[in-house]
Structure 1
């Protein structure tokens, strides 16, 4: 009986005191993943290939694209459990001030000794409406 009581107290203590630490870790992971997203964007804008390549788990991760004629409105979202994560976001691709493509992108990430790394990318791509083709960002 004493062992059961001790086990229940240990579980209760873990639940009571372990949760804030777990929540803080999840927030830290979210912040680190947001940093990967920001670095990805900045490295493309700056054409910084070395920084861009450091974001990936390995050089030959899968990139799977789907052309579509329909847009879905969604903002940046991410989920993680500490070891793996997913990120979804809308994107617009501009070249010389003209929007050339837009779509949705989703990444799978893994948490490594060197931080979060992108392990795969899937995306949709579509041409923008003619009226917004050369609209500045």
Structure 2
């Protein structure tokens, strides 16, 4: 799972940067998040599994929220990331909700996405997977 974690984090981060459609961005972001979850699983420790379960719980909640908003955007014909700039003018409440929902995906402290990644990185450091934690931090910043 060590190499799957690295490949998934790198592929998810790099492919998400090249996207211009909202759904594809979320799909590649999901690939990257699976890599973070593999990070906890690859440790093989109790702390790693606990951080994995916390990460799955938080990720599921974030994903449900984001896809609910994406479905609402679909009704307004917002398909591309560039279209989201006009969302603040046409539907400011949906724009604010989308922004608040996307911040945990980015891992911004002190939100739930940050806590999830922090526990996963802490578990990786605890089991000696320093390279995996470093790659996780770098791809999280991307």
TM-score for both structures, normalised by structure 2: 0.27
Structure with max Cα Rg:
1
Question: Between Structure 1 and Structure 2, which shows a larger proportion of helix residues?
Answer: 2
Task: Specify which structure has the bigger relative contact order, considering alpha-carbon pairs within 8 angstroms and separated by 6 or more residues.
Answer: 2
TM-score for both structures, normalised by structure 1: 0.28
Question: Between Structure 1 and Structure 2, which shows a larger proportion of strand residues?
Answer: 1
